[in-house]
Structure 1
Amino acid sequence: MRTQVGIIGAGPAGLMLSHLLHLQGIESVIIEKRTREEIEGTIKAGVLEQGVVDLMKETGVGERLMREGQFHKGIELRFNGKGHRIDMHELTGGKYVTVYAQHEVIKDLVEARLKAGGEIIFNVGDVSLHDLDTNSPKIRYRKDKNGDLQEIDCDFIVGADGFHGPSRPSIPASVRKEYQKIYPFGWLGILAEAPQSSAELIYANHERGFALVSTRTPEIQRLYLQVDLNDTIANWSDDRIWSELHARLETHDGFKLIEGTIFEKDIVWPRSYICDPMQYGRLFIAGDAAHTVPPTGAKGLNLAVADVQVLSRGLDAFYKSGKTDLLERYTETCLRRVWNSERFSWYMTSMLHRFHDTTPFEQQMQLAELNYVTSSRAAATSLSENYVGLPMEW
């Protein structure tokens, strides 16, 4: 098989890139280790920056988002038994916090690609990358996991295959500089059939640990609890989860969390990770393959889309004029935004969580920061601008 751009991974980064390239008249093929049912059924967080919403609308894949997404004007920071709302819509000149689950974004992009005749090869195995430092790199894989070995000849390869995929390790270790921070706690997340307890997201700092009230649909709620680093789902019965959520979210004015039927539980372990460079020869990596952020700042999917916006512009310039300057600056351009998002996610995480070695002094510093950001217009504006998404720098 021959294509201009071979893409590994049918997550938001890979699918959005293929969609943008199609609109520019550039051919691509996506390979994905999971089935279509698996990628469309894996439920993940979905808080979209205004720029991502605008891009989906502008490129023709935003119709269902605009119909079914939830557009919030702010968030609430809760501490010392009291809620403090930050009006991000007003502070950012009319931008929204948009809640639209990641698997819904994937559904929209898969449908658009297949409708346009794009090729997505699902359920592949044994993916490997070859000849990256030549003008004709190759992707090899096995069709249907254990089937015959296949090869795709490309002009460029894009690794959008997540943190554990084969793309990043294909950049020689001698070239890669890696930055990482492992946070000393987990996030226990649940999906529950229940009415909304809050019209907007709630981020709670509590002496027992962090809690988050989010949502997926008016009928499906997503909630999180900070848990011990070595904790397991087996330790958390439904009753214990609801009891802990009530304790961490209670307020002096009698806030009532509405319980429901929990139908999914999982624990994730937040980390910050950055690979520099995000390119090697004719290979470019994007999204979680290149960087991960703790979920506190809601930046993962948004950074993935920002990466491929930069890359699509560079590839468009290459095929139209032969110019490579945008591609050569891909890492530099993307990492400016990545590091800022890492900073913001670290800030939110540090302000809201209890660390195993948090001293009484540090607890008071957290509360002082929360008091400041909820009482100072300048501080609230800074938080809001970062949360809804800063303008893209090209």
Structure 2
Amino acid sequence: MRTQVAIAGAGPAGLLLSHLLRLRGIDSVVLESRDRAYVEKRQRAGMLEQGTVDVLRDSGVGERLDREGLTHHGLELRFDGAGHRIPLSELTGGRTVTVYAQTEIVKDLIAARLAAGGEIHFETEVLSVDPGAPTVTFRRDGRVETLECDVIAGCDGFHGVCRPAVPDTRVHEREYPFAWLGILADVPPSTDELIYAYSERGFALHSLRSPKISRLYLQVDPAEDIAAWPDERIWSELRARFATDDGWELRDGPILEKSITPMRSFVAEPMRHDRLFLAGDAAHIVPPTGAKGLNLAISDVVVLAEALGAWYDSGTTELLDAYSDTCLRRVWRAEHFSYWMTTLLHKDPRQDAFGHRLQLSHLEYVAASKAAATTLAENYVGAAPLL
């Protein structure tokens, strides 16, 4: 097998990269270890920055996003029994965020690639990559084969084989003393905009997937057993953390899915070695509080597609040589914002009464100060352009 760009991983990063390359007349092959049904059902983030929406729309895969996505102009910080709205659009020159599940982005991209005759090989395990040759060795239908290429894009996630192929990687990481218990519930959302709640009981987030499906999260201990959280306990704890003095009520209903996800910050530098380029979770992880993970992955592959386009068009390597530094500037900004949001809104189990009062004071400042609220809003909607 031979192609111009070999892409390991059929998540949003790998699929969008393949789609963007096709628009530039560049061939690619996507290799994915899971089957198509699993990939299209894999639940992940669903909050899209303005820039991400623009990329999907401008590249021709935004029709269903425009029809079904839920555009938000603000969010709510809730603490001390009261809600405080942060007017995102008002503070950022009209920019917005959009709720559109990763599962739907993946479906849209797979459909677009297959309709254009693109090669996506599901149930194909990447065994190793050689950044110098460059080649990808993979197993499919019990046979080991090799894919020759000009460039390898490592979009195979945190546990993939691509990052270990980068020698002398500098790893920066932080583990947090809490995790998220997330649920998908068959109940209309109790809010029109996301609610980020801080209480002495811990953090809670009210998100949504559609006008009929709610997505909610609770801060729990990373060692917590999901079996210890029957549905009624989850709803009871959510009601306690979202409680306000004005009588606001949380709707509940059947829980369709539940899981516990530990939280970490992780960055691997550099994001390139020879002809291998890392993108998305293969290179960086953020805690989900700032809704940056998917958006960073999209940003990476937009930068990579532009750099590859310039290389194939004119032979210039300037953008390829700058790829890692270009991406990492945005990555570290997102890492800081995600860390800031996480520490602002979660209750550290080691925290004393002094720390609790400091946290409340910080939240009050963000809610009352236009300057502080603007900082939150600019980072949340993705004020910096993708390029």
Under TM normalisation by the shorter chain, which class is it? over 0.9
Any idea what the Cα deviations from partners look like across 1:105-139, whole Å, max 9, x if unmatched? 10111111111111000001252112x12xx3100
Aligned residue type for 1:94: G
What RMSD in Å do the two structures reach over aligned CA positions?
0.9
Indicate the residue corresponding to 1:109 in structure 2: 109
Work out the CA distance in 2 between the residues paired with 1:375 and 1:294. Answer: 26
Work out the CA distance in 1 between the residues paired with 2:380 and 2:204. Answer: 18
Aligned residue type for 2:8: I
Indicate the residue corresponding to 2:173 in structure 1: 180
Indicate the residue corresponding to 2:77 in structure 1: 77
Indicate the residue corresponding to 1:268 in structure 2: 261
SS across alignment from 1:351? helix
Indicate the residue corresponding to 2:14 in structure 1: 14
Mapped pair 1:374 → 2:371: no
Residues 93 and 126 (structure 1), Cα distance of their counterparts in 2 relative to 1, 3 Å cut: closer
Work out the CA distance in 1 between the residues paired with 2:201 and 2:211. Answer: 28
Work out the CA distance in 1 between the residues paired with 2:145 and 2:331. Answer: 34
How much has 1:393 moved relative to structure 2? 6.1
How much has 1:364 moved relative to structure 2? 1.2
Please give the TM-score of this superposition, normalised by the length of structure 1: 0.97
SS across alignment from 2:177? coil
Indicate the residue corresponding to 1:63 in structure 2: 63
Work out the CA distance in 1 between the residues paired with 2:59 and 2:27. Answer: 17
SS across alignment from 1:183? strand
Mapped pair 1:138 → 2:131: no
Indicate the residue corresponding to 1:285 in structure 2: 278
Give runs of aligned pairs for residues 142-221 of structure 1, distance below 5 A.
142-144=139-141, 147-172=142-167, 175-221=168-214
Any idea what the Cα deviations from partners look like across 1:282-306, whole Å, max 9, x if unmatched? 0000000000000000000000000
Gaps spanning 5+ residues in structure 2: where?
none
Any idea what the Cα deviations from partners look like across 1:252-298, whole Å, max 9, x if unmatched? 00110000000110000010000000011100000000000000000
Aligned residue type for 1:149: V
SS across alignment from 2:363? helix
Work out the CA distance in 2 between the residues paired with 1:80 and 1:126. Answer: 50
Give runs of aligned pairs for residues 230-269 of structure 1, distance below 5 A.
230-269=223-262
Number of equivalences: 387
Do the aligned partners of 1:306 and 1:392 also contact (CA within 8 Å) in 2? no
Do the aligned partners of 2:32 and 2:126 also contact (CA within 8 Å) in 1? no
Work out the CA distance in 1 between the residues paired with 2:356 and 2:322. Answer: 41
Mapped pair 1:224 → 2:217: yes
SS across alignment from 1:117? coil
Work out the CA distance in 2 between the residues paired with 1:388 and 1:304. Answer: 15
Identity of paired residues, percent? 57
Work out the CA distance in 1 between the residues paired with 2:48 and 2:386. Answer: 18
Runs of 4+ in 1 over 6 A off after TM superposition: none
Give runs of aligned pairs for residues 305-344 of structure 1, distance below 5 A.
305-344=298-337
Gaps spanning 5+ residues in structure 1: where?
none
Any idea what the Cα deviations from partners look like across 1:326-357, whole Å, max 9, x if unmatched? 11111100000000000000000000001121
Any idea what the Cα deviations from partners look like across 1:185-241, whole Å, max 9, x if unmatched? 110000100011001100000100000000001111100000012101011010100
How much has 1:366 moved relative to structure 2? 1.1
